[in-house]
Structure 1
Amino acid sequence: MAKVHPSATASSRPSLPALPASSAEAASLTVWRKSLVFHGDGFTVFDAKGNLAFRVENYPSASRAEIVLMDADGKPLLTIRRKKLSLGDHWLIYDGEAATNPQFAVKKHVNLIGSRSLVHVTACCPGAAKSCLSYEVEGSYSRRCCTVYDHRRRQLAQIMRKEASPGVALGADVFRLIVEPGLDAAFAMAVVILLDQMFESRGSILRV
């Protein structure tokens, strides 16, 4: 397989903090569905300069009920856990390695004819607050063509196929994540991980 980035090696990992939500420009990330440490599934994410930004290395767990998103130095940023005793695909996103007080709830959309919606994301607000943040993800993850919208239908992030250099073929395991100003890049990557859990087959057949 062709190199995703020339500077991306397991022995050289420049420190890069989570990209700030207040960035004035959209962040362009390259997502590789592969762990650089363990043999098997995982995620390695590079910034536009080829520096390591995020990584996931505990993906091969049997149950896949818990996934930790880390920064370049291995610091846990977000922990994703499947919600217990819930019907369908329902996950919770926690800050760091916390086991209480989830930040977001993510639920797979029940597909209806003509609907492009994939998942609903809702902030876990205390009490019965009605002003909680919410997001909708639409498109097709298997085709690497998804958009994240907020409750006002503003486009905040996109997943798209990565254009290959002349003569270099990049498959579905390497794609781009574009994060607009105002959305935290780590949160956007957590959404990618959950889309992968809900809609991606690890075999040769991709599910829409």
Structure 2
Amino acid sequence: MAGIAFNGCNMPIVSKLYCASSQVLLLVRERPHVVSGGGFVVTDCSQKVVFRVDGCGVVGKKGELILRDCDGEPLLLIRRKGGLVQALSIHRKWKAYTSDYEGSQKLVFSLKEPNSCLARNNTIRVSAEPRISKRAFDWDLEIKGYFPDRDCSIVDYSGNIVAEIGTRKEVTEVMTSKDLYHVVVKPGIDQAFIFGVIAVLDYIYCESTRC
């Protein structure tokens, strides 16, 4: 299992393969619209594919996403919780799972969807499994800023930035015309976990992964 560093503490999330010792810059580009909800591709600065996200047009189910590695192997299955209890809830919740070699699923994070995607001040919070925060919170990270503006950060419960989403001028020179935005992932942070969260944000705001 892997680590994601918060205040110097490593906690297992997805895989140690995606925890770098230095800051990592990754680029997000939309997959060609062969089908609705085609998803997006994550590359490094040399245009090598790191992750791929399948949206509901590929997966075939609304409210379901798959994060895959560079070889197309599934890393995370992400589902929006449904049912009567969910319909009566203030927040819709997403849950992400990994599968072991026996096929059993393990919850790795959950995310509460905001009441309205139009309001910029709605807080989106993420809870990791096992819990990172030792405080009496029901969340470990939150999204600061507004994802559709490509100007937001993922921060931990102490306010430390673990990843930044943007289109900064100093980065645009390494981006191609197909790139949508960049993501800077801080040292020790599990990149697969971060892009699982970003995949949900993409769907919530009706972008490339949604039908």
Q: Name the CA shift for 1:84/1:150 in 2 (closer, same or farther; >3 Å).
A: same
How many matched pairs? 180
**Residue 145 of structure 1, aligned match among 135, 139, 151:** 151
Give, as a single letter, the amino acid of the residue that structure 2 aligns with 1:153.
G
Instruction: Give deviations 1:55-81, integer Å, cap 9, x for gaps.
Output: 123531554222111011011111111
**Residue 180 of structure 1, aligned match among 169, 177, 186:** 186
Structure 1 runs (4+) greater than 3 angstroms displaced: 96-101, 114-118, 129-133, 162-166, 168-171
- Of Structure 1 and Structure 2, the greater helix share is in 2
Say yes or no: does 1:95 pair with 2:98.
yes
Say yes or no: does 1:154 pair with 2:175.
no
Show the counterpart of 1:29.
Answer: 26
Q: Name the CA shift for 1:109/1:44 in 2 (closer, same or farther; >3 Å).
A: same
Identity percentage of aligned residues: 25
Considering Cα pairs closer than 8 Å and 6+ residues apart, tell me whether 1 or 2 has the greater RCO: 2
Q: TM-score, normalised by structure 2?
A: 0.70
Instruction: Give deviations 1:132-158, integer Å, cap 9, x for gaps.
Output: 871001111111111000111100001
- Separation in 2 of the partners of 1:130 and 1:191? 22
Say yes or no: does 1:44 pair with 2:41.
yes
- Separation in 2 of the partners of 1:20 and 1:198? 25
Report the Cα offset of residue 20 of structure 1.
2.8
Report the Cα offset of residue 117 of structure 1.
4.6
**Residue 126 of structure 2, aligned match among 112, 121, 124:** 121
Unmatched tracts of structure 1, length 5 or more: 1-16, 203-208
Show the counterpart of 2:69.
Answer: 71
- Separation in 1 of the partners of 2:205 and 2:104? 25
